[in-house]
Amino acid sequence: MKHKYLIYSLPAVFFWASSSVIVRLTFGNITIMHLSAVRSWLAALTLLVFCLIKKIPPPKKRDIPLFILSGVMGFAMFSICFNTGLMYLTAATGNVVMAVVPVITALIAQFLLKERIRPLGWFFICVSFSGILVLILWNGVLSINSGVFWILAAAFLNSIYSLLQRHLVRSYSALQSCAFSLVAGALAFTPFMPGAVKELAVITPMVAIAIAYLGIFGGGIGYLLWSQGLALVKRTADATNLLYLPPFIASILAFAMFRELPDWGTVIGGLIILFGLWMYQKKA
């Protein structure tokens, strides 16, 4: 099946898009560092359970530095940058900025991994990116604040993570490459866990459910599905192009949860994004 990776990649994209909306329920109840620590450990423990059930062996010593780099950059540092950025931006806007990930990843992959994309593929990447520009510029105002720079840093880290996972899944299963990376990311947050436990003791049940979703689905399950999708694609960009979807998904979810009514720019931009992705999958 040519597009089998979509079975894994699309649910991962949904979990990440929904996480950018749900994380807002935690603001004011737990600090960013403590939220990132709890989310990291929930994600790691979720996948460690699968590893124990399947009796997965530990990684080879020579690959441990790659797993540490993957986990620290792609989950620990990413969580801090992305969550901090969302304190200053709406979920939809944050995901719009994150939409530079496919372009960054495709450029890095072309130079470092020699993954070539035909001119027609680049054209439809640009079509989808034009949909992002519609989302940004529809109201005629482009607002730049510190949140944008935090999200741009998160986008770069996400690109590096995808490329590292693309390399690791050539030698390990998706579960192994993802689980070992998330454990490394969680260990980086260990010093913040005592403070996180104190804050968790006084949060409401709704916030607790939100944090559990962010860790288990937006973290462990989402990252595992993404790694599995990366293991099946011909080029990294085939999967990362799907990261144009979160702004559209986040706008819909934000309306459902917070009654943030999407404007016509969101609708038109979303349709352009979907058209570009569909044509890329069909023609590139």
Q: Which residues contact 145 (CB under 8 A, 6 or more apart)?
A: 88, 89
Asked whether residue 35 is assigned to any structural domain, the reply reads yes
Q: Residue 217's pLDDT is what?
A: 95
Residue 173 clears pLDDT 70, i.e. is over it = yes
Q: How far is CA 263 from CA 42, 93, 136, in A?
A: 36, 13, 11
CB 157 within 8 A of CB 81: yes
**How many independent structural domains does the chain possess?**
1
Asked whether residue 261 is assigned to any structural domain, the reply reads no
Domain of residue 50, residue span:
6-117+142-232
Of the candidates 123, 128, 113, the one whose C-alpha atom is nearest the C-alpha of residue 162 is 113
Amino acid identity, residue 47?
A: L
Structure tokens at 243: 């990261």
Asked whether residue 129 is assigned to any structural domain, the reply reads no
Query: Which is higher by pLDDT, 102 or 24?
Result: 24
Asked whether residue 93 is assigned to any structural domain, the reply reads yes
Asked whether residue 133 is assigned to any structural domain, the reply reads no
pLDDT tens-digit series, residues 45-77: 999 999 999 898 889 999 999 999 999 998 889
**What average pLDDT does range 185-189 have in this prediction?**
93
Q: How far is CA 170 from CA 104, 173, 174, 238, in A?
A: 22, 8, 9, 16
Longest dimension (CA), the chain: 55
pLDDT tens-digit series, residues 231-280: 888 877 778 778 778 877 887 887 777 666 656 776 777 678 778 777 77
Asked whether residue 194 is assigned to any structural domain, the reply reads yes
